[in-house]
């Protein structure tokens, strides 16, 4: 594994600190991607708040640099908050996309970040940002939540990496889970692998520009997720999964 997705607002910096401790001696060859657009609010019911202003994006990058213990971040994803699910920007946190892009470009020009990514965006926003040079897009997408297929296709056509978050569903406590789909369970049983591995393997097979960020909090699930990269889906499996519908219930 060489691609690590993190953010200062994950557990109020703890995720970054763990990465710093783990990767301090192996920084070369490692790609660290982080986010800007939110800030931690420890102790709150939702421990995050919008931080969309250009100055706040810069502050987020500086915080990430500090807790990661590095002088540059490979990719910083600008996290927009224009539509549900997730936090929505309100009041003075409703900021022009173009102003945010200008700040991200400035940070890249200063060498604090090496590439700009986008998260939770629309097709139109990606088209607006493409002239800037976009490395990747992170949106909710998985086997049973494919609304952003047009965005995935636009990324593929422009050499932009597709980094789906909630790749197995279940996010926000409301999204359907990939492992609950009967088609996924049937393919997993036939191939002798787990439903989670099938869900991740389908993403990798579906589009060649896909990078998986299947977050986990246990070593067992980490091992299971990594092994998904070796799962080979045959034509029958792909046809079954491509035709899968959202699980009931």
> Model's pTM, two decimal places?
0.93
Q: What is the DSSP letter of 198?
A: H
For residue 186, what pLDDT is reported? Answer: 97
The helix/strand/coil state of 228 is helix
Query: What are the pLDDT tens digits along the chain (249 aa)?
Result: 889 999 998 888 899 999 999 887 777 888 999 999 999 888 888 889 999 999 999 999 999 999 999 989 999 999 999 999 999 999 999 999 999 999 999 999 999 999 999 999 999 999 999 999 999 999 999 999 999 999 999 999 999 999 999 999 998 888 999 999 999 999 999 999 999 999 999 999 999 999 999 888 899 999 999 999 999 999 999 999 999 866 554
DSSP string, 155-181: HHHTT-EE--BSTTB-GGGTSPBGGG-
Question: How far is 213 from 156, CA to CA, in rounded Å?
Answer: 18
Cis amide prior to 85 (ω within 30 degrees):
yes
Q: Which of 99, 1, 92, 15 is nearest to 49 (CA)?
A: 92
Question: How far is 54 from 153, CA to CA, in rounded Å?
Answer: 29
- Tokens 């897009």 label which residue? 137
Q: Which of 48, 37, 62 is nearest to 12 (CA)?
A: 48
Query: What amino acid positions are annotated as catalytic residues?
Result: 10
Geometric angle at alpha carbon 28, from 118 and 161, rounded to 5°: 25
Question: How far is 126 from 61, CA to CA, in rounded Å?
Answer: 21
Q: Which of 220, 225, 231, 171 is nearest to 196 (CA)?
A: 225
For residue 83, what pLDDT is reported? Answer: 95
For residue 123, what pLDDT is reported? Answer: 98
Question: How far is 154 from 162, CA to CA, in rounded Å?
Answer: 10
Residues 225 and 200 sit within 8 Å (Cβ to Cβ): yes
């Amino acid at each position: 594994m060489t691609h690590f997705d993190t953010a200062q607002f994950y557990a109020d910096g703890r995720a970054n600190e763990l990465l710093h401790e783990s990767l301090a001696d192996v920084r070369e060859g490692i790609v660290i991607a982080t986010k800007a657009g939110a800030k931690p609010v420890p102790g709150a019911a939702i421990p995050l708040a919008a931080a969309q202003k250009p100055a706040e994006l810069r502050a987020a990058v500086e915080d990430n640099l500090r807790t990661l213990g590095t002088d540059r971040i490979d990719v910083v994803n600008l996290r927009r908050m224009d539509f549900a699910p997730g936090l929505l920007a309100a009041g003075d946190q409703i900021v022009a996309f173009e102003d945010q892009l200008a700040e991200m470009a400035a940070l890249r020009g200063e060498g604090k970040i090496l590439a700009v990514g986008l998260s939770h965006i629309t097709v139109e926003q990606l088209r607006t940002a493409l002239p800037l040079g976009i490395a990747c897009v992170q949106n909710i997408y998985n086997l049973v939540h494919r609304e952003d297929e047009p965005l995935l296709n636009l990324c593929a056509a422009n050499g932009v990496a597709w980094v789906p978050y909630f790749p197995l569903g279940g996010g926000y406590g409301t999204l359907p889970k990939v492992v609950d789909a009967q088609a996924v369970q049937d393919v997993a049983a036939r191939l002798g692998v787990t439903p989670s591995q099938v869900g991740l393997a389908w993403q990798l097979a579906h589009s060649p520009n896909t990078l998986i960020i299947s977050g986990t909090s246990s070593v067992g699930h980490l091992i299971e997720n990594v092994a998904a990269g070796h799962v080979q889906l045959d034509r029958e499996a792909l046809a079954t999964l491509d035709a899968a519908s959202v699980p009931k219930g």
